[in-house]
Amino acid sequence: MRAYLGLLLTSLAPICVSSAPAQAPPQQPAIRIQDGGTSGRMESIFIPPKAGAPFSFTLVTEWARPMNNGGNFTLTNERHIVRDSKGRIYQERWILVPKSVSGPLKDGTGFRQHEDLGLNSIEGQETHGYRETTTFNPGVMGNDKPMTVTREFWYSPHLAVNLVSIVDEPMTGKQVFTATQLSTAEPDPAFFEVPVDYKVVDHLDDKN
């Protein structure tokens, strides 16, 4: 199952740097990162912002990492990548998930179940729901009782994002992400305009 993480939009537009003191932007909510835990990142293929060569494809990724017992732990995902004739790039960001689906975990450590939850309407958009439930047997991760991890996603094919995402893990607690006040109208062009007190600098020609 794919799990959406984020989007990246790039273009041939030059970098903007300020040529005059700018007013302080509105206060933004702080990004909070929990203490502890681990994270892993794999650098994917490079997509240059090349004009005149549009394309679209689905990139399938598998990441096999060796374990100390001689086996491999494999993660996988699929993501859509598009480049238009202006060189602008759209990339989906999906987290890597274990390759296996429903069935017993290796060495009898537990069981994983993958469910198709069907269709549902969220914020006026048709979504498709998926749930992956992994149950670890006692003693596998320091747990003295069976431990269950649940991930549920409601994906909008039209918007290519998850409108609802629920992650419930005993180690970190329950996290719920819900898209609200959704509008599919064209956004205000002002979001993409360069501020008047900024100077446009082409970093491709910058020799410094």
Diameter over CA atoms, the chain = 64
pLDDT digits (tens, 9 = 90+) for 16-64: 333 344 444 444 444 344 444 445 566 788 888 888 888 888 888 887 7
pLDDT (0 to 100) of residue 14 = 37
- Residue (of 169, 151, 165, 119) closest to 5 by Cα position: 165
pLDDT in tens, 141-185: 788 888 899 999 898 888 888 899 998 988 788 999 999 999 988
Please, what sign has the CA dihedral across residues 15, 18, 22, 27?
positive
Residue 124 confidence (pLDDT) above 90: yes
* Residue 196 region by backbone torsions, left for phi larger than 0, else alpha for psi between -120 and 50, else beta: alpha
The pLDDT value recorded for residue 127 is: 92
pLDDT score for 162: 86
Give domain limits for the chain: 1-12+47-97, 100-182
- The residue-averaged pLDDT of 66-82 equals 74
CA distance 151 to 167: 5
The chain-wide mean pLDDT, for the chain, equals 75
